[in-house]
Chain A
Amino acid sequence: MQRDAGQTMKHTAAPAARRWIMAGFCAAFAVYSVNVYTVGTEMPGGPALTPAVQHGLALFQQSNCIACHQFYGLGGYMGPDLTNVVSAPDKGPDYARAFIENGTARMPNFGFGEAQVNDLVRFLEFVDASGAYPPKSPEINWNGTVAYDAARHNDR
């Protein structure tokens, strides 16, 4: 029969203090989270989530494109980052459209119809309007922080 350690163990620190610390942390976390959800991520004048964009987003998710591609460097590494694919020099909407319609050696042809391809491109334009990646002209400060390009990065 194994003994119940809880019956015999002696403890040193005051549990009431721990409860107060935990309560303080939780309150700070709630305030912080609300700030991140609102003022921390505001995008005044940002692009609208039209029905076409929404449909493109749904297609992007249903095809699990993020398994291979990234936005802002976040996602899979099999394919390139797509944040600014529709506005990058030598690329653009038609470039994106060609890849979506035909696939490549590394990317399957998902068999999208013309309307679906259009909606996916609308979604990529929606992403493109939100910012730039990689940052265009980052400046590294002495303390290790980085000043990103204010014009596209939306630094406030």
Chain B
Amino acid sequence: MTPPATTTDDIGLRFMLLGLLALAASLAFGALGAVKFLDPDFLEALPFHKVRPLHVSLAVSWIFLAAIGGIYHHLHKGGGPALFSPRAAAWHFRLFAVTGIAILGAYLAGRFGGREYWEFPPVLSLPIFASWILFGWNYFRSVLRRRGAWPVYYWMWGTGIVFFLITFSEAHLWLIPFFRENMVREVTVQWKAYGALVGSWNMLVYGTAILVMEKISGDETLAASKLAFSLFFLGLFNLMFGWAHHAYPVPAAPWIRHFAYVVSMTELLVLGKIIWDWRGTVATWRRFRHRDACRFLFAADLWVFLNLLLAIVISIPAANLFTHGTHVTVAHAMGTTIGINTMILLASVFYVIETRASEAAARRYRTAVRAGFWLTNGALLAFFLALIGAGLVRGTFAGSFAEMTAAVAPWLVVFTVAGVGLMAGLWMILLPATRTIWGLVAPRRRAIAPSAAE
């Protein structure tokens, strides 16, 4: 019997499906934005000030939708405690989808009013806020029913949900005159909120990574060890206090910068841990390389290393002096959102596909996904290096803005070509993933395995 749309059987998959579509669209707008750096007149109907928020908002939506989808799926089908309220989850989905469409419509119509990254009119933040309250209430009511201590990913997800609400509220403090009337306060608080916001979605995504690793390896101690919790609290420490490297040049009190510098350097512990674990990581990869989910997790591991290295460098104020306000920051943002977050979330999506779709369905997509995987990672590396090159030229250039733009142009050509390659590579992965998840959401279609319809 086909379950109704509001059951938790497919609510997680619906979030994932919407997320996959959001990522596919985000990539198209991203590639268009890159082309506009070289030819601003290209497709004049969509100017850059509309394309950029469309790209960014859809990318952020992908991260949240896929992470939330994984959490809901785990709570129902992944062996977790039963979801407390399937009805609330369904309302969460509807609110998210309708608000998302309204935001995209506002951008296309040129109706802005918010701040960077939340450029839509602030009234549209209300349903987003309501949907997260619903999600948080449902999540905590679900996991609190579980007997025994929580694995670390329950802590991470709970922390991610709560801190999203805190940082999302903080990002709207500019609506209060006390914050708006002081430019230094306004910019500082805005970036404090954004820094922690990224930390909050990292909690959702990294929690998902640990869950998938635990499920693939069958090692339940992974998510319960003291080391896992130590790294969780280190991540939380950075989420709360490590944001200010985004805003070193803003003339706030020096203690904010100095404290953030010290906090950021604690990430060296994570870097050291990754290097220390390297042989184990490679051994795990060899053992599970036949799994697509593991392939994406391994790629994420490599990107964590590269991005952490870059993050630590740009957190040193002396280096930040040359990288702040340049494409190096974009390299860091793209490297983390695509190399780390997207790889982990694709691992989660393919873990679900591998456990629920038929082998026949998996065979159909395998070649395209593997080709897409290599194209994506190769293009991302070129993209990442081109942005660092462009950033270093910009950061050390002494001349007018027009001269600097001309000097950076060769790097932006590489960036644009790599961006189109990145889009093509990810689309090769997204197309079969979307078709397979769609087959699972609509079980009458052929891709569904008998067990998935139970």
Contact A12 B221 (CB under 8 A): yes
Tell me if A72 is interfacial: C-beta within 8 Å of chain B: yes
Residue of B at shortest CB range from A24? B233
Contact B182 A43 (CB under 8 A): yes
Contact A5 B220 (CB under 8 A): yes
Cβ of A88 to closest chain B Cβ, rounded Å: 11
A26-39 interface bits toward B, Cβ cutoff 8 Å, 1 = contact, 0 = none: 00110011001101
Distance in angstroms between the alpha carbons of A130 and B258 in the assembled complex: 21
- Given A154-B251, A155-B251, 13 more pairs with CB closer than 8 A: A10-B224, A11-B224, A41-B252, A43-B185, A63-B49, A66-B119, A67-B119, A73-B249, A77-B326, A134-B249, A144-B316, A145-B258, A146-B248
Distance in angstroms between the alpha carbons of A139 and B104 in the assembled complex: 45
Contact A2 B77 (CB under 8 A): yes
Distance in angstroms between the alpha carbons of A78 and B394 in the assembled complex: 12
Contact A29 B191 (CB under 8 A): no
A69-96 interface bits toward B, Cβ cutoff 8 Å, 1 = contact, 0 = none: 0111111111111000000000000000
Tell me if B406 is interfacial: C-beta within 8 Å of chain A: no
Contact A146 B317 (CB under 8 A): yes
* Complex contacts, B78 vs chain A, CB 8 Å: 2
* Complex contacts, B268 vs chain A, CB 8 Å: none
Contact B182 A46 (CB under 8 A): yes
Q: Which 10 A-B pairs have the closest CB atoms?
A: A73-B325, A41-B185, A130-B183, A131-B251, A11-B149, A49-B181, A154-B251, A6-B146, A67-B49, A80-B401
Distance in angstroms between the alpha carbons of A80 and B221 in the assembled complex: 51
Q: With A81-B325, A130-B251, A144-B261 known to touch, is A105 a contact of B40 (CB < 8 Å)?
A: yes
Q: With A13-B149, A36-B192, A73-B324 known to touch, is A28 a contact of B240 (CB < 8 Å)?
A: yes
Selected contact of B325 from candidates A9, A67, A70, A131, CB within 8 Å? A70
Chain B interface (Cβ within 8 Å of chain A)? Answer: 36-37, 40-41, 47-50, 52-53, 77-81, 111-116, 119, 146-151, 155, 170, 173, 177, 179-185, 187-189, 191-192, 220-221, 224-226, 229, 233, 236-237, 240-241, 246-258, 261, 316-321, 324-327, 330, 394, 401
Distance in angstroms between the alpha carbons of A57 and B321 in the assembled complex: 27
Distance in angstroms between the alpha carbons of A63 and B401 in the assembled complex: 22
14 A–B contacts from the bound complex (CB under 8 Å):
A6-B80, A9-B224, A11-B151, A12-B221, A40-B255, A41-B188, A41-B253, A61-B115, A64-B49, A68-B48, A70-B325, A77-B327, A134-B325, A145-B258
* Complex contacts, A39 vs chain B, CB 8 Å: 253
Distance in angstroms between the alpha carbons of A39 and B78 in the assembled complex: 47
Contact A148 B249 (CB under 8 A): yes
* Complex contacts, A131 vs chain B, CB 8 Å: 183-184, 250-251
* Complex contacts, A64 vs chain B, CB 8 Å: 49-50, 53, 112, 119
* Complex contacts, A25 vs chain B, CB 8 Å: 233, 236-237, 240
Distance in angstroms between the alpha carbons of A43 and B147 in the assembled complex: 51
Chain A interface (Cβ within 8 Å of chain B)? Answer: 2-7, 9-13, 15, 18, 21-22, 25, 28-29, 32-33, 36-37, 39-43, 46-49, 54, 57-58, 61-68, 70-81, 105-106, 108, 126-127, 130-135, 138, 140-141, 144-146, 148, 152-156
Contact B185 A37 (CB under 8 A): yes
In this complex, which of B80, B119, B181, B220 has the most chain A Cβ atoms within 10 angstroms of its Cβ? Answer: B181
Contact A7 B48 (CB under 8 A): no
* Complex contacts, A79 vs chain B, CB 8 Å: 401
Distance in angstroms between the alpha carbons of A76 and B252 in the assembled complex: 22
Distance in angstroms between the alpha carbons of A131 and B185 in the assembled complex: 12
* Complex contacts, A126 vs chain B, CB 8 Å: 183
Contact B325 A6 (CB under 8 A): no
Cβ of A149 to closest chain B Cβ, rounded Å: 10
Cβ of A136 to closest chain B Cβ, rounded Å: 11
Selected contact of B254 from candidates A36, A71, A156, CB within 8 Å? A156
Q: With A6-B148, A37-B189, A133-B249 known to touch, is A144 a contact of B318 (CB < 8 Å)?
A: yes
Distance in angstroms between the alpha carbons of A89 and B34 in the assembled complex: 31
Distance in angstroms between the alpha carbons of A71 and B187 in the assembled complex: 9
Contact A72 B177 (CB under 8 A): no
Distance in angstroms between the alpha carbons of A135 and B229 in the assembled complex: 40
Contact B247 A7 (CB under 8 A): no
Contact A138 B321 (CB under 8 A): yes
Contact A13 B224 (CB under 8 A): yes
Selected contact of A66 from candidates B115, B253, B254, B257, CB within 8 Å? B115
Residue of A at shortest CB range from B194? A74
Distance in angstroms between the alpha carbons of A108 and B40 in the assembled complex: 10
* Complex contacts, A72 vs chain B, CB 8 Å: 187, 247, 249-250, 325
Contact A49 B317 (CB under 8 A): no
* Complex contacts, B155 vs chain A, CB 8 Å: 18, 22
